[in-house]
Amino acid sequence: MSTFAHAAEPANRAQDFEWKSSEPLVRPPADAKHIFGVKDPSIVYHDGRYHVFMTTAGTNGWGMAYASFARWEDAPNAPLFMLDKSPIGPGYRAAPQVFYFAPQKLWYLIYQGGDPLYSTTKDINDPRSWTAPQPFYKTIPESVKDDKGQATWLDFWNICDDKKCHLFFTGDNGSFYRGETTIERFPQGFSEPVVVMKEKRDDMFEASNTYKIAGTNQYLTLIEAMRPGGRYFRAWTADRLDGKWQPIPGAEMNRFAGADNVKFNGRIWSEGVSHGEMIRDGADQTLTIDPCKPLQFLFQGLDMEKGKKYEYIELPYRLGLITATAPNAISAMCSK
């Protein structure tokens, strides 16, 4: 049986999402004056520990870091390892995604370095063991070039079914893209990307993330959108990764999480809900979430100091966790 008691809620209300937020759990180390913010988290739970990969924004530009902890209460004191000290190396690195690719018995870290890149390791506990960056595409696909011939792709996200791996991404232009390859050829052989959905720029902006919903034939996609009250996520479902995505019912603009439906205990420390990842039920390439457990989403929150002006790279992003507090369209899929 689902954790939530659906019978007490009106049918239309049961579809809307409601969340509670933690305090900031991961922030730049106090002695790291050169780091302004931590962003774009990707997270897996493996062998009794959470493993979090994130973007760092600082005086040296954009890089990536890693933290590990056994319990959420340990997260604020978990040290950050800067991944430029691994073979991933220095330079522009951002928006990581981590998963275990079971067919090869390898961990994959996907990230943007302009183009989509990946590194691998056999031991996720050793952040120095990641391999040097490799590209998914040998050349920039024509379908992601704008009128000036510039690439418009970012925030890369891989998910696999039983036959294919699908590389989703956005372009800060209202378009949601997908390329595919076979399980056997991954990480090579990705097809020319196609536009899966297209809306206004602000309504389908960036940071897409897609999951398999356990016990169903359904997939969930979340995409970040923008409005004056801050960033927020919208949600769609489909019955196959190369299928048609339908807006999830229950809220205006198929809202998943944002300022309107997240409650804070005391200080409202985040302006909106931005780039993040669901807490998965497992670590493999299927990216499965359990609808029978309260959903949790690790996100970047903007903890602004009132009256202070920031350059974009200086924005004080911190990582926090939101947990669903009411029945919703995903918990309704629980068959237990």
Alpha-carbon distance of 259 to 270, in angstroms, equals: 8
Higher pLDDT: 324 or 6? It is 324
In terms of CATH, what superfamily is 6-333? Answer: Glycosyl hydrolase domain; family 43 (2.115.10.20)
Q: Mind listing the pLDDT tens digit for each residue in 29-47?
A: 887 789 999 999 999 999 9
pLDDT of the residue at 266: 87
pLDDT over 90 (residue 7): no
pLDDT of the residue at 33: 81
Tell me what percent of the residues of the chain surpass a pLDDT of 90: 90
pLDDT over 50 (residue 8): no
Alpha-carbon distance of 296 to 312, in angstroms, equals: 28
What number of other Cβ atoms are within 10 A of residue 101's Cβ? 19
pLDDT band for 6, please (50, 70, 90 cuts).
very low
* In contact, 80 and 37? CB cutoff 8 Å: no
Please state the domain extents for the chain: 6-333
- The token pair that represents 66 in the structure block: 């890693």
pLDDT of the residue at 32: 78
pTM: 0.95
Mean residue pLDDT of the chain comes to 94
pLDDT over 50 (residue 115): yes
Q: Mind listing the pLDDT tens digit for each residue in 257-266?
A: 999 999 999 8
Alpha-carbon distance of 70 to 146, in angstroms, equals: 44
Q: Mind listing the pLDDT tens digit for each residue in 125-158?
A: 999 999 999 999 999 999 999 999 999 999 999 9
* In contact, 287 and 53? CB cutoff 8 Å: no
Q: Mind listing the pLDDT tens digit for each residue in 194-235?
A: 999 999 999 999 999 999 999 999 999 999 999 988 999 999
Q: Mind listing the pLDDT tens digit for each residue in 276-323?
A: 999 999 999 999 999 999 999 999 999 998 889 999 999 999 999 999
* In contact, 220 and 236? CB cutoff 8 Å: yes
pLDDT over 50 (residue 12): no
pLDDT band for 250, please (50, 70, 90 cuts).
confident
